[in-house]
């Protein structure tokens, strides 16, 4: 059974003339590629639309940033020729900087993902606003 949030998303997407099925999730390797800014195959376009416009889109974006930063941070922690405490501190600071310098660009980066999937640049904010409006109606109903 779908939740209200998913139903609100589907109604909003349909009202804007966007397809809502089939929503094919990428496998873990493709998702990692997507986290590193790679475009997904066309069959995942609706999933990308959902990923960047659902009610948890901010948390999903932050999860992608953490996944993308994890490998460089781990490499610093393992291979930096320094004492363990300095390696750990450097890895933490590098990871924090990676998040702090990329998180403010959340709107632009999600729009870029939508453009890579074949959608218009402003389709994300329009769908998120419509989804919020419909979710509010569903809550009040």
Count of domains observed in the chain: 1
pLDDT given for residue 17 in this prediction: 92
> Rounded to an integer, what distance in angstroms lies between the CA atom of residue 49 and that of residue 131?
12
Task: Summarize the confidence of residues 73-93 as an average pLDDT.
Answer: 95
Q: Could you tell me the end-to-end alpha-carbon distance of the chain, in angstroms, rounded to an integer?
A: 19
Q: pLDDT at residue 133 above 60?
A: yes
Are 25 and 47 spatial neighbours (Cβ–Cβ below 8 Å)? Answer: yes
The per-residue pLDDT of the chain, averaged, comes to 93
Higher pLDDT, 103 or 31: 31
pLDDT given for residue 1 in this prediction: 39
> Rounded to an integer, what distance in angstroms lies between the CA atom of residue 103 and that of residue 93?
15
pLDDT given for residue 2 in this prediction: 59
Task: Summarize the confidence of residues 91-101 as an average pLDDT.
Answer: 95
Residue 82: helix, strand or coil by DSSP?
coil
Tens digit of each residue's pLDDT (9 = 90 or more) over 22-60? 899 999 999 999 999 999 999 999 999 999 999 999 999
pTM of the predicted structure, to 2 decimals: 0.88
Q: pLDDT at residue 139 above 90?
A: no
Range of the domain at 43: 4-140
Are 109 and 35 spatial neighbours (Cβ–Cβ below 8 Å)? Answer: no
Identify which of 89, 94, 95 has the alpha carbon closest to the alpha carbon of residue 67. 95
Q: pLDDT at residue 113 above 50?
A: yes
């Amino acid at each position: 059974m779908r939740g209200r949030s998913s139903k609100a998303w589907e109604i909003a997407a349909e009202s804007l003339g966007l397809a809502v099925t089939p929503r094919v999730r990428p496998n873990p390797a493709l998702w990692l590629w997507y986290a590193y800014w790679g475009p997904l195959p066309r069959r995942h376009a609706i999933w990308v639309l959902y990923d960047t416009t659902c009610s948890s889109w901010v948390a999903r974006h932050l999860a992608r940033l953490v996944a993308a930063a994890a490998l460089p941070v781990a490499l610093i922690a393992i291979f930096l020729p320094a004492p363990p405490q300095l390696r750990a501190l450097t890895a933490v600071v590098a990871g924090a900087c990676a998040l702090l310098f990329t998180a403010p660009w959340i709107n632009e980066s999600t729009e870029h993902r939508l453009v890579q999937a074949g959608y218009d640049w402003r389709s994300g904010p329009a769908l998120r606003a419509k989804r919020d409006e419909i979710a509010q109606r569903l809550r009040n109903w």
